[in-house]
Structure 1
Amino acid sequence: MKFKMFSCKEISKVSCHEEELKGFDKLNYKMHLFMCDKCRKYVAGLKFVQEKFSSLLKRRSEINETKIKVLEDEILDRLKSKNGNE
């Protein structure tokens, strides 16, 4: 069996799905990053962007949940006041 290390191009393709790598491919990936400063920096930047994007989506959904709750409360208040006026 011949050992073939991932190329930088291959690293850039699999970095978004790194957690799906198994066995030899995962070892190959980690070895490449250990040896290649440019790919290490690329992956670090990619992870930074992923974390920031996830954080943004989480905050956005929290804001939407808050808005939904406010709207629900307003609707219930209007229904209560409408039923009380009749």
Structure 2
Amino acid sequence: MPKKTRRSVDGSRLMQEDEAMTTGGAPGSPGGLEEIFGSLDSLREEIEQMRRPTGTQDSPARTCQDLKLCHPELPDGQCQPQGTQKY
């Protein structure tokens, strides 16, 4: 096998990789970009739930003040499980 130098690049292989990227997949894995973007979307949603908690069991707020700052339209009330109040 001949030793490759920087100037001896196989151009046909570069074209195949470029075509794979434009059709939505990484070289060797069709549809790879769709999977990556799907993962990024789900991560973005999880981060948004952490930034703006809804006060439910699935998305609890750290403090009552956090809940009030994120959702000022919610009524004041007492949380039953913890026995705390939102101010």
- TM-score, normalised to structure 2's length? 0.39
Work out which structure has the larger RCO, using CA pairs closer than 8 Å and 6 or more positions apart in sequence: 1
Q: Which has the higher helix share?
A: 1
- TM-score, normalised to structure 1's length? 0.39
